[in-house]
Structure 1
């Protein structure tokens, strides 16, 4: 995820970083996270940062406000101790990646606050008045607001917009590198060409119905979906559930399951076309995304086709074909297979190099130094 890419690189550059996804919740008692946790918490050094694993003692319990506040305070204090912020003279930055973390930001009372907006939160299904309040509190408190796309901050107030810097998603060129020739994965090698590849979680944002429609019309084209099938998401949406059921009866749609991120480049490299096949609806968050996979695809050099996502249209139309309807997708696939798609392989690779995570962190680091100075 973008937070891992950003924080690990800051850590590599000498910034002392501690990461936490918050205190345990009493309702998580049967979850893997709870079962794997220790009573007193633990710190793991990984990927150039300190990862704080929450303790089981005094979990959050929203039903009882005092208990919940004590849990937040205890967790925040543990974070300070873990990164040696015990003295009053110590200064630090709180960097939040979701409105849910506002209570911790408020309790930590850091010298500076950065809020990174990586999704259009107001269009997410979990959005409610409580999350909106935390969101506005973070926006107002933040000294710096970064956003993965311009579309994610269109509704902010003028005062909030004055604090915004656009920090697009990037690509890890150490692994998504066309100069590295990866062997074809065993489960992919069994699938005939042409292969149309989609990587990432398979939830309701993926337009499975469109994929099924094209797969029926062109049985010689093989759709390869690499990622976790999010049944909880798909089964609550009749459109997606129907398409999922149909896809299981088609021999040219292949679900290869979730893979380690280090394995993904090999799959993308041994495809014929890499796609971002999203279901675009104005009332949902997908319309504002900057897909994490976009620059990864471009770095591989194969033809790329995308649904009409605002960021892709505005920034990448010279190297990415845009398709909305099933017929437009068929035309784009034919163009990619027969003519190499939009742009050349070199064009795609060169653009990806301009959008590396290292370049993104160059910008972020500059903005952080401006805060501190």
Structure 2
């Protein structure tokens, strides 16, 4: 495993939501000095409640740093202040200079240094830190995201794909789409299997205690990439099933709220999530299939498995690799049929699903990540 490095990580905010880069880096915090940087985002902010809430959260990180968690004493979280209007070249140059300045004063002379980024726009200043290796960890196809400056991001990602010493991707589709000086190394997502196998402990959460079974459950962001028409059709046809959605709502779900057997619980702390998931009878991944989602490797698949939950999903390419263990459905009729089969899942199959999760732990993923980086360093 990587040790004795100074690692600069450019990624999403730590602990705001569980994501792959954080899960992997958790295994590097104890033996490396980590500077975790969350620079200004790629989206063009709008006059919306969501963006106002995010702006306030950002301000909070500037003026009230989060306490250091156990095991992270060598990790420093940095959220550089930034001027709004990153589309403007002058403002962007000022914001970039702030990031470089805040980082350079923290770097240790002579340190073995890695830069690991999940964000393509740092291509503008990635060479400023004298890194021994620059790693672009590709987890999304940002060019398919709405609300960003696509021309700007496209140019910077192409630059980073050529500049990075190592490309690592979380899905096969990303390996095909994001080739640069070399083809990305495929390292699929893992799971904190021990966390999710604690599903059976604790009382039934009060939000779920009154809802009749079977519970068809989903956790994660309730965003526009979910197939709301599919969900509405299933809930309308199967009124004796209750559909439970756990997570922040970032889409119009007015029609779904009108159905008595669809329940939105809201965001649940990651530490408590297994307690909720344990109440599900089936876990679902009802994503639309489009240019954005074909590159997605949903963390929740293995998290459901770790809970011993049978899973029904639309045909996302990374989920289809588990066909035979997960149920794959292409429309409402087949989705309902697969849920009916999943509700009859045997205890032997539930054990099998747990074993799959254990074989794909985040520690195993971190070891693979570490080995690929060490090999790249040796070959430089």
Q: Is 1:301 aligned with 2:308? A: yes
Gaps in structure 1 of 5+ consecutive residues = 235-240
Q: Is 1:138 aligned with 2:160? A: yes
SS in 2 for 1:102: helix
SS in 2 for 1:274: strand
Q: Is 1:166 aligned with 2:198? A: no
Q: 1:93 aligns with which of 114, 117, 126?
A: 114
1:158, distance to aligned residue in structure 2 (A): 7.1
8 Å CA contact 2:235–2:241 kept in 1: the answer is yes
TM superposition score normalised by structure 1: 0.85
Of residues 14-23 and 299-308 in structure 1, the stretch that sits farther from structure 2 once superposed is: 14-23
Q: Is 1:268 aligned with 2:277? A: yes
Distance across 1 between alignment mates of 2:246 and 2:331 = 23
Distance 1:24 1:264, change over 3 A: closer
Distance across 1 between alignment mates of 2:275 and 2:309 = 12
Distance across 2 between alignment mates of 1:196 and 1:337 = 9
RMSD: 2.7
Q: 1:10 aligns with which of 17, 28, 52?
A: 28
What is the match of residue 5 of structure 2? Answer: none
- How does 1:29-40 map onto structure 2 within 5 Å? 31-38=55-62
Distance across 1 between alignment mates of 2:198 and 2:24 = 23
Gaps in structure 2 of 5+ consecutive residues = 1-18, 46-50
Distance 1:306 1:60, change over 3 A: same
Distance across 2 between alignment mates of 1:6 and 1:172 = 10
Distance 1:23 1:328, change over 3 A: closer
Distance across 2 between alignment mates of 1:335 and 1:29 = 43
What is the match of residue 247 of structure 1? Answer: 256
Of residues 328-337 and 67-76 in structure 1, the stretch that sits farther from structure 2 once superposed is: 67-76
8 Å CA contact 2:80–2:98 kept in 1: the answer is no
What is the match of residue 228 of structure 1? Answer: 248
Q: 1:204 aligns with which of 224, 229, 240?
A: 224
1:74, distance to aligned residue in structure 2 (A): 3.2
What is the match of residue 102 of structure 2? Answer: 78
Distance across 1 between alignment mates of 2:76 and 2:349 = 41
8 Å CA contact 2:313–2:326 kept in 1: the answer is yes
8 Å CA contact 1:196–1:272 kept in 2: the answer is yes
Q: 1:177 aligns with which of 197, 206, 226?
A: 197
Distance across 2 between alignment mates of 1:355 and 1:268 = 19
Q: Is 1:329 aligned with 2:335? A: yes
TM superposition score normalised by structure 2: 0.84
Q: Is 1:54 aligned with 2:76? A: no
Distance 1:67 1:280, change over 3 A: closer
